[in-house]
Structure 1
Amino acid sequence: MKEFKVDFDTQKDVLKLLHVQMQSTLIVYKGGKELDRMTGKTNPGAIEAIMRKAL
């Protein structure tokens, strides 16, 4: 698993490329394809559930 962080205030080109419109967006990829995304979630169970999709 790899984690990449993008600065919402300074990396606008990356946000546009990833179609991110809100802060705190988590995108899960597998094999180069987006599996799911969520925005603004802080519940550990919800984060774990989305991460398990990539396993």
Structure 2
Amino acid sequence: MNLRLSSALFTAAIVAAAPAHAAEFREFDQAAFVAAQAQGRPILLDVHAWWCPVCASQNHTIKQVVLSPAYDKLIVFRINYDKQKPIWQSFGVRKQATLIAFRGRQEVGRLAYMTNKDAITAVMASAVR
């Protein structure tokens, strides 16, 4: 077996062994958000900026938390802080790194500019209870 093929097989084995995210991740789209609300889905809005270290920390925690099967119905909509200002303003957001949890149409939790893993987990859990 040549080295290139061996490396490709090793990479494939690692990818296959890595756990998949239980939640669905999407860029924010108003129609998809409204449809998810109408279905009663648990939803997390993530107002994110690529340059924000707090956003990066929150994203890391979110990806860890959703590995639990409890989050298999959760949909995470990412709102681009730099490009979708009217959207995040419509949710009463004032700054990036804001997380908003919904259970269907009802807002059930909100967290702004925090990296505390327990606080992020609590907001996410409020959507799936």
- The bucket for the TM-score relative to the shorter chain is 0.7 to 0.9
Question: What corresponds to 2:107 in structure 1?
Answer: 34
Percent identity between matched residues is 35
Structure with more contact order per residue of length (Cα contacts < 8 Å, sep ≥ 6): 2
Normalising by the residue count of structure 2, what TM-score does the alignment of the two structures yield?
Answer: 0.40
Q: Which structure has the highest helix share of the two? A: 2
Question: What corresponds to 2:11 in structure 1?
Answer: none
Distance in 2, matches of 1:35 and 1:44, equals 18
Aligned partner of 1:48: which letter? T
- Once the two structures are superposed, residues 6-37 of structure 1 have per-residue CA deviations (whole angstroms, 9 ceiling, x without a partner) of 11111111012111111100000002111111
Q: Pick from 70, 82, 95 the counterpart of residue 22 of structure 1.
A: 95
Structure 1 moving runs of 4+ over 6 Å: none
Gaps of 5+ in 1: none
Distance in 2, matches of 1:50 and 1:12, equals 23
Structure showing greater radius of gyration is: 2
Shift of 1:39: 0.4
